[in-house]
Amino acid sequence: MAADTETFADLRLTARLRSATAIMLAIVPVFLALDLRYQRASFPGLLFFYGLHVLIAGGALLATFTHGGRRRPDHVALVLIAGMATNINAYFHRTPANPALAADVLTLLMMSSAFFFSWSLSRHLLICAVTCTGFAVAGLTAAQVQPAFGYAFGILVLGGVVASIGSHVLGRYRQGLARRQAELAELSMRLMSLHEEERHRLSRDLQEDIGQSLAAVSAYLQAIEYDLPPALGELRARTADARRLAAKTVAQLRQLAQLLRPSVLDDYGLMPSLHSCLRDFQERHGVAASLSTEGVPDRLPSPIEVAVYRVVQEALTNVARHARARHVRVALATDRGELSLRVDDDGVGLPPEGRHPGTGLIGIRERVQALGGSVTIASRAGTSLVVRLPLRRDRAA
């Protein structure tokens, strides 16, 4: 997936386009059955229109799985609606006996396009105008103009205007929602980077200031311990205890600082940090952990290194807390400008009654989406978390 050239808005439109084409394909058997029942005489000739309908809807559906289709779902949607309207009008021209039914189907099409695609008022009005004109031409040039044609035409025009206004209103709501989402994503990105900076600073202060002072205290205590005369054996033992305590605290501080922000991540990059993170995890939880990489360069852009490290940390915490797993496998690979990360465990899998709404997975999703990537979590034998991140970002997602 070339996530660097697709926005989330594109992806959401692609999903809506798929739903629209699926519905259009699903109605075929219903109308086929109706025509078979009520238009038996002309039925074989109508099959051509059904074929075209399936071709247009199926083609649009297939296009959403291609690179070009995913990049331009709006164009595909436009071709879909225009193609459908033309085909229905051609069908009506061939069987003009029931203009009200044809007008209803066209109104339904325009309502669906309003609901699924929420185009601008001018674009929607243009599509409705072309559809209504097509309907008028099809009806007036048909073998026999039906008395109900004028009435059906009026209904169609009215339906088209209502659909256009609905499309406009819905479009405004969707735009507002997308703007709010973008603002929230921006805010959460800022909060995460502030959080990360804060951890970085804390980790440095802990190691460099407090840690070094404590190490100095420990060294002083050691000097005192050696200088004390043997007659003061009890004082010497207490000094040794104090020194050991100081040394233990230094070690704990170091551990805490590593947890907050491993210096190895800044100094040596992602792989050594992940290796040490997995080693610690294995020792602490007794779950066998392995790391495999394929084509991953030594250094990646810092936001990506930090994001991957934090995702792995949260995924491992989840494995320890929820999975009851024996093995966990972390795999990193790069392919065509995209980094993929998988964390697979062989534990109990996600709870069948639905996930408990924690903040860990939400945090992962926020972090990854802020970098233009995607997250999927699936449960089959154990749990698999898959993250995809674009390594190059040409435009903001």
Ligand X SMILES: Nc1ncnc2c1ncn2[C@@H]1O[C@H](COP(=O)(O)OP(=O)(O)OP(=O)(O)O)[C@@H](O)[C@H]1O
Applying CB under 6 A, which residues contact ligand X? Answer: 318-319, 321-323, 345, 347-351, 355-356, 358-361, 383
Query: Which of residues 64 and 313 has its CB atom nearest to ligand X in the complex?
Result: 313
* CB 313, min distance to Mg ion, A: 10
Interacting partner of 319 out of Mg ion, ligand X, none (Cβ under 5 to 8 A depending on kind):
ligand X
* CB 190, min distance to ligand X, A: 21
Q: What is d(CA 360, CA 10) in angstroms, rounded to the nearest whole number?
A: 27
Contact 324, 348 (CB under 8 A): yes
Query: Which of residues 138 and 260 has its CB atom nearest to ligand X in the complex?
Result: 260
* CB 90, min distance to ligand X, A: 52
Query: Which of residues 332 and 385 has its CB atom nearest to Mg ion in the complex?
Result: 385
* CB 322, min distance to Mg ion, A: 7
Span from 26-34, 154-162, 353-361, 373-381 in contact with Mg ion (CB under 5 A): 353-361
Residue nearest to Mg ion (CB): 360
Helix locations, the chain, DSSP H: 8-38, 43-63, 67-71, 73-94, 99-117, 121-140, 149-204, 212-227, 233-260, 263-268, 270-285, 302-318, 360-370
- Residue 21 binding Mg ion, by CB under 5 A: no
Query: Which of residues 200 and 365 has its CB atom nearest to ligand X in the complex?
Result: 365
Contact 371, 341 (CB under 8 A): no
Q: What is d(CA 317, CA 18) in angstroms, rounded to the nearest whole number?
A: 36
Interacting partner of 347 out of Mg ion, ligand X, none (Cβ under 5 to 8 A depending on kind):
ligand X
Q: Strand 374-380's sheet: what is its strand order?
A: 288-294, 327-335, 338-345, 382-390, 374-380
Q: How many residues sit in the footprint of Mg ion (CB under 5 A)?
A: 3
Contact 296, 332 (CB under 8 A): yes
Two tokens, residue 70: 């995913």
Query: Which of residues 195 and 355 has its CB atom nearest to ligand X in the complex?
Result: 355
Contact 24, 115 (CB under 8 A): no
* CB 395, min distance to ligand X, A: 30
Q: Half-sphere exposure of 173 toward its Cβ, with a 13 Å CA cutoff?
A: 11
Interacting partner of 132 out of Mg ion, ligand X, none (Cβ under 5 to 8 A depending on kind):
none
* CB 318, min distance to ligand X, A: 3
Interacting partner of 376 out of ligand X, Mg ion, none (Cβ under 5 to 8 A depending on kind):
none
- Residue 360 binding Mg ion, by CB under 5 A: yes
Interacting partner of 303 out of ligand X, Mg ion, none (Cβ under 5 to 8 A depending on kind):
none
Query: Which of residues 69 and 347 has its CB atom nearest to ligand X in the complex?
Result: 347
Q: What is d(CA 30, CA 276) in angstroms, rounded to the nearest whole number?
A: 61
Question: Beta-carbon neighbour count of residue 192 at 10 Å?
Answer: 18
Q: What three-state secondary structure class fits 278? A: helix
Q: Is the dihedral of CA 122, 125, 129, 131 positive or negative?
A: positive
Q: What is d(CA 396, CA 121) in angstroms, rounded to the nearest whole number?
A: 27
Residue nearest to ligand X (CB): 358
Q: List binders of Mg ion among 293-352 (CB under 5 A).
A: 318
Interacting partner of 350 out of ligand X, Mg ion, none (Cβ under 5 to 8 A depending on kind):
ligand X
* CB 289, min distance to ligand X, A: 13
Q: What three-state secondary structure class fits 393? A: coil
* CB 188, min distance to ligand X, A: 15
Where on the chain is the footprint of Mg ion (CB under 5 A)?
Answer: 318, 358, 360
